[in-house]
Chain A
Amino acid sequence: GAVVSQHPSRVICKSGTSVKIECRSLDFQATTMFWYRQFPKQSLMLMATSNEGSKATYEQGVEKDKFLINHASLTLSTLTVTSAHPEDSSFYICSAEQGRDSPLHFGNGTRLTVT
């Protein structure tokens, strides 16, 4: 089946630093990738939608200058949390799809802790 690889799985960083999270579709070309954030015991909150070669579409309330998304190719999207603060600590999950008629495939998530 389709595999989405997300790295790193865990990262601890100091306040003020930036963190990059990678999301790769290993065996298919992803027309669209999505980035979610999940708080403990809550459902997924969509942050942004990215299409290869174009700017990401951010959801209302998500700061695009803080959460930089680059969708460089049909198999790679990156999320950079810039100038991270403790309130950015969360579980970030990416997903990818080949088209809207296909299932959405998820990475295993990244646990970000900002100290």
Chain B
Amino acid sequence: EAQVTQNPRYLITVTGKKLTVTCSQNMNHEYMSWYRQDPGLGLRQIYYSMNVEVTDKGDVPEGYKVSRKEKRNFPLILESPSPNQTSLYFCASSQSRTGSSYNSPLHFGNGTRLTVT
């Protein structure tokens, strides 16, 4: 089944403890991206990657890191999490190298709910 898989689904951590949220897609997609979803703010892009070893900042990159060493994986790293990073995180991928198009929609994972205390 074609899908974007995120792990873990739920994560509770403390301020300053480094964590990684994994994302993997099995559709051989070029483009991958991370979003955070907060009430009233919708989906905001954190980072994206158009190809292996190519990553760039989205709208809210502060406090996050990413890497794209393999085409299928795009982990999100929080080196020193803070309470304002408590959010629902989504990984997404698309066959379109630029992010999304009429014939190559964006596919989302089922999310990771992160709580930082």
A and B interact physically: no
